[in-house]
Amino acid sequence: MQPIAVITGAAQGLGSLIAGQLLAEGFHVAITDRDREGAERLARELDPEGGRTLALGLDVTRKEDFTAALSEVEAHLGAPTALVNNAAMTPTTPVMEITPEEFDAVVAINQRGTFFGCQVFGDYFAGRGYGRIVNIASLAGQNGGTASGAHYAASKGAILTLTKVFAGQLAGANVTVNAVAPGPLDLPSVRAAVPPEKLTDIIDRAIPVKRLGNPTFVATTVARLLGDEADFVTGAAWDINGGIHMR
């Protein structure tokens, strides 16, 4: 069976690294993003000869977009076997300054988007008797965050709970659902969101290993959880946080 993965929010950042890792490991990959042009650019970069990728516009706040993407993937790549719910909004607004509109936007993308992805693809995978889902959560959902906004942290905590809910729902159908919960990663988005002096302080004072995380390792962890051999792992949160949160 050809492994075929769908990744949300994959046009840049961690999502793009996950796409590249999965292609390197033999997957065919649907690169989806609200920025369809960005998804198309990445597909051309990663798969210049074509045939192993599909670029799609997908707004994760719309359940119908997941349904449409599923149909497109089936038509152009084949039956998908895996989903990575990666799309996220990551503001760092101080808690007392978060507006109702910003709160709702973050929850809609991070939490609601993950829910719809698990719902649409989980039902499809269950019907076929096989599937792998990985939700990108965060250390912030476990400890409230080191630099992220309260709405971001709350939405990522919800993702950890949704992972358990869908894992229990789908386990009997040979569908696994896991979460990866990274701490601060060495990504351009992190360096852009956190002022340099604050980031240096976080590294020195908050991260026991005193370095930012390697996003490529996160991508390889996702790939392991999407493999056939990961059939006994479900409902778990994989912590990659430099020792900030230990349990």
C-alpha angle with apex 218: 214 to 222, nearest 5 degrees? 165
Give the model's pLDDT for residue 145.
83
130 is catalytic: no
Which pLDDT value is given to residue 198? 86
Q: Are 6 and 71 in contact (CB under 8 A)?
A: no
Q: Which of 147, 152, 181, 218 is catalytic?
A: 152
Supply the pLDDT for residue 166: 99
Between CA 127 and CA 138 the distance in angstroms is 30
- What's residue 181's pLDDT? 98
pLDDT at position 190: 84
Q: Which two tokens stand for residue 154?
A: 């709350």
Query: In 10 A of CB 159, how many CB atoms?
Result: 24
What CATH number labels 4-185+214-240?
Answer: 3.40.50.720
At 144 the pLDDT is: 92
pTM: 0.96
Which 8-state DSSP code applies to residue 61?
Answer: T
Tell the burial category of 141 from Cβ atoms under 10 Å away from its Cβ (0-12, 13-18, 19+): buried
For the record, the structure tokens of 129 come out as: 């008797």
Contacts (Cβ under 8 Å, ≥6 apart) of 226: 3, 5, 22, 27, 81, 82, 84, 132, 134
pLDDT at 195: 84
> pLDDT per position in the chain (247 positions), as tens?
899 999 999 999 999 999 999 999 999 999 999 999 999 999 999 999 999 999 999 999 999 999 999 999 999 999 999 999 999 999 999 999 999 999 999 999 999 999 999 999 999 999 999 999 999 999 999 999 877 899 999 999 999 999 999 999 999 999 999 999 999 999 988 888 788 888 899 899 999 999 999 999 999 999 999 999 999 999 999 999 999 999 8
